[in-house]
Amino acid sequence: MKKQPSKKVLSINELSPDKVLARWLAEVSTLQQQYSLLNNYIAGTGELPQDPSAAGYVGQCTLRQLMSLCERLHSELADLLQDMKEPDQLSAQQKFNKLAMHTLQLEELNQHTQLMLHLAELPAS
């Protein structure tokens, strides 16, 4: 897996609609790509263990860790999308701030996922 260039974390002074929306789109795209990679690693292991404590490994990660991460990515994205859909009385600025916060959450998820993917690529010791 090729290393992605490090991304500059959004600061409060850089919050413009164009920048936040572009960053949000990039983070969602990255999340989708990494989710797909995780699923490929899981599928590549053959049959999934019925026992969650089973010691199947992918690189230096347990199969259970990768499965849990996939579940977390799916759940977090669903929560973020639901949060944006909820009817509310927020102003445009408040909705923008909410999207900016979601973008930061996506960045954190993507960083964690990138680390787990790296560990999955390493040979088991």
Judge whether 95 and 17 are in contact, CB under 8 Å.
no
CA 47: distance to chain centroid? 24
pLDDT tens digit sequence for 73-119? 999 889 888 888 877 788 888 888 888 999 999 999 999 999 999 99
pLDDT at 46: 58
All residues at 6 or more sequence positions from 46 whose CB lies less than 8 Å from its CB, including other chains: none
pLDDT tens digit sequence for 25-80? 999 999 999 999 998 888 886 545 555 455 688 888 888 999 999 999 999 889 88
If you average pLDDT over every residue of the chain, what do you get? Answer: 81
All residues at 6 or more sequence positions from 17 whose CB lies less than 8 Å from its CB, including other chains: 96
For the chain, first and last CA: distance in Å? 20
Which of 112, 104, 122 lies closest to 34 in space, CA to CA?
112
Name the 3-class secondary structure at 62.
strand
Output the six-digit token pair for 2. 């090729």
pLDDT at 30: 95
